[in-house]
Amino acid sequence: MKLQIAFVLIILLLGVTSCLAQEFSCRVQASGILPLRRTFAVVELRKQIAPRYAISLAGEFSQVESNVSPKLCVGLVPGLSLEAGFGWGHHWQRANCNDHNYHTYTLGLMWSWPVTDRISFFVGPSLFWRSYQAHIGLHRGTLRMCAGLAFRL
Can the peptide bond before residue 35 be classed as cis, meaning omega within 30 degrees of 0?
A: yes
pLDDT of 16 = 47
Domain-located, residue 16: no
Q: Which helix (H) or strand (E) holds 108?
A: strand 101-114
Q: Which of 58, 73, 145 is nearest to 104 (CA)?
A: 58
Domain-located, residue 92: yes
Alpha-carbon distances, residue 107 vs 33, 34, 134 (angstroms):
14, 15, 20
Domain-located, residue 64: yes
CB of 60 within 8 A of CB of 31? yes
Domain that holds residue 139: 22-152
Domain-located, residue 10: no
CATH number of the domain within which 138 lies: 2.40.160.20
pLDDT of 115 = 92
Domain-located, residue 105: yes
61 class by beta-carbon count within 10 Å (0-12 exposed, 13-18 middle, 19+ buried): middle
Domain-located, residue 140: yes
Domain-located, residue 5: no
Residues 6+ apart with CB under 8 A from 91: 64, 65, 97, 99, 100, 101, 102
Count up the domains in the chain and report the number.
Answer: 1
Q: Which of 36, 24, 38, 146 is nearest to 85 (CA)?
A: 146
As a whole number of angstroms, the distance between CA 49 and CA 127 comes to: 24
Tens place of pLDDT per residue across the chain (153 aa): 666 666 565 654 544 444 455 689 999 998 888 767 778 899 999 999 888 899 999 999 888 888 899 999 999 999 999 999 999 888 777 666 666 788 888 999 999 999 998 999 999 999 888 876 656 656 677 888 999 999 988
Domain-located, residue 1: no
